[in-house]
Chain A
């Protein structure tokens, strides 16, 4: 059965149109990022950058950071038009992932989604038709293995379903947190701000509707009878989140991504529409067009190393399915200690504010201490993000320890750290009695994080 599934074929249009939109969207995302001045304010201005464990070597490279963005932007355009597709998507994956690894402060789930999506796209024949490559080679692949298209659907489904599962907890379902805080604070929205957003039932309605949406949308999109309805829901949901929250390009990425669920016929229609547009454009610009039409030799696409590719893809998905559950290896409350929180599609789950001041102590005389002014080292954004994330606090403590060791190489670093979680009273998160300069980052449980004085039930 598995073998026969792997031999099933489908039209190549689906991959082609997905590739086209993905490249286009990445191009606009990166240009938008640049035009907002974020390359400068996030990667060049700060003196200090928070690194991912084991990726400490990935850092911004001064003004050359712009070059990385240029590379990513050009490769996204190449992916879009399908020029040297394979090498372009590899370069895009590497440059984009490098950018995301440069500073942990800016971690977003949808950046991670783009990274692994572009990794998956490396192995899919998305440039085999409707591309400059196929035009130049004068051949277009008509069909591709069906699993290639399905793998994209699977990845998108994982994102939704895992995001839904993560909401199966008492804060979200029984307290309507953190939506209650977020909605009530958007009181300035016209009409609904002072009315709906303030109603208790509405907070619960939105929480429950949100989790139902996440858990059901892959299925609605999967079956042809519910697909249109599902797609309309996708558009409404994501535009709604776009209006309510500052989530940048994410809504568009998810809306465009769900197009993959439509039939190859529909994808073909979109391609014909775009082709027509291009022809008209070329005609309008008075460029010869008669040699473009129908000169491509049509073939079927077969993988050269089918087995190896299948092995890689299978491994990739096994990791994707297991990785989000790694938090089970850590005791305590995940939302509080955040060990295993990232890369797991935990979206919009917590509202945290933190306060973190560092105390430099002379070990010879514990009465000899002072507090550090964080703003001498961090941007306000970095300070805000660091203040409630224990691993960032540890990394910064080490940076401070290194910096102040000119005073005394045995210096100790302690922290005054208070965090609020989903409307709870603030309490100490990182212990104030542990010398953080002595603690090392690792995958082991961080014993210096104090337990939350409360329990959140659920997954």
Chain B
């Protein structure tokens, strides 16, 4: 009893000491190196890649505006897809400035509001970077401007040559890409400047970057990846009514699956720690789960990896555009949804349980 007593006093004394910075490792997991891997090998390179793709897209827009022909149109459409794919690797990092300025809403809110777009075109609205225009900018708006303005390619190109609003259409196209570049460079800059504080914020608290990025990863997977891409269009998360017009890239149509596969790869890379261009593989959640006693015993990281593969397999069962698939046989998409659902269960129960991370909402007492 006396030993317990003395030890308790000792412990109490220790735990009431002032916080200091010298927390040296004895046998703990190096969370800082996980954050370093994420920011240096995944987040910042993905932003560089994305910003470059936007620059290319911007050039293609200029070329097309100057000379609206079929060749320039194809080039523009291809670069739009390249950039859209590249975007799938940055959307999930919705913390700090990105969250504050509603970055992902401004880049990828779909379905886009075609009425608002036409109003803007008509009134030559050029300042688009505000909350009211979130449904009229970004990739979905560009998708409409490039693939939905008219019934086919030639008539769409005509919209930029001889229609009454040709000039305004050109301007609007340019304004969209301008606003995307502007906010993207802002967010990139924010990541560059907050890199050090990001890496060092490894505490298990609701506001640490470690917890924020993991919570956000799961939130992204559930709300934007599962629901946005599959759940809502298939009716699974929209009251049972199929909603084919809510698919991503509605006007281009045949690329929804590519974008979803790209986003899946991004989710997987974040989990395994692989860099986007596959150059390096560093410390990540996979290693963390293998380190923690309960999840390593349960082989959790293997389960999650397997589930990523199951999602990919189910996605590859889709042989037509999401839009057509939903109209003809939504069950192929429902299967994808159910696979994603199983993943959400793994992430929200086993992974969050093993990490025991402080969530951002419960600040009430426990007992």
Contact = CB atoms under 8 A, between A and B. Distances in A.
Contact of B349 (A198, A347, A353, A381): A353
Given A190-B19, A249-B365, A425 B298 contact: yes
Contacts of B364: 38, 42, 106, 246, 381
B235 A192 contact: no
B16 interface: yes
A425 B366 contact: no
Contact of B23 (A193, A205, A418): A193
B144 to A, nearest CB: 27
Interface string A195-239: 110100000010001001000000000000000010011001101
A240 interface: yes
Contact of A236 (B8, B29, B350, B362): B8
Interface in B320-367: 341, 344-346, 348-350, 352-357, 359, 361-367
B353 A418 contact: no
Nearest to B203: A188
A294 interface: no
Interface in B1-48: 4-5, 7-9, 11-12, 14-20, 23-29, 31
Given A247-B366, A368-B240, A192 B204 contact: no
Interface in B257-305: 292-294, 297-298, 300
Contacts of A416: 341, 345
Contacts of B359: 380, 384
Nearest to B242: A370
Contacts, number: 162
Interface stretch (A3-11, A179-187, A265-273): A179-187
Given A194-B26, A357-B341, A184 B5 contact: no
Interface in B150-206: 202-205
Contacts of A348: 367
Interface string A122-139: 000000000000000000
Given A188-B203, A198-B27, A360 B341 contact: no
Interface in B237-255: 237-240
A198 B235 contact: no
A190 B240 contact: no
Most buried by B among A347, A348, A354, A362: A354
Contacts of A239: 12, 16
B355 A185 contact: yes
A202 to B, nearest CB: 9
Given A188-B202, A190-B18, A247-B365, A182 B356 contact: yes
A150 B318 CA distance: 73
B231 interface: yes
Given A209-B4, A351-B356, A425 B341 contact: no
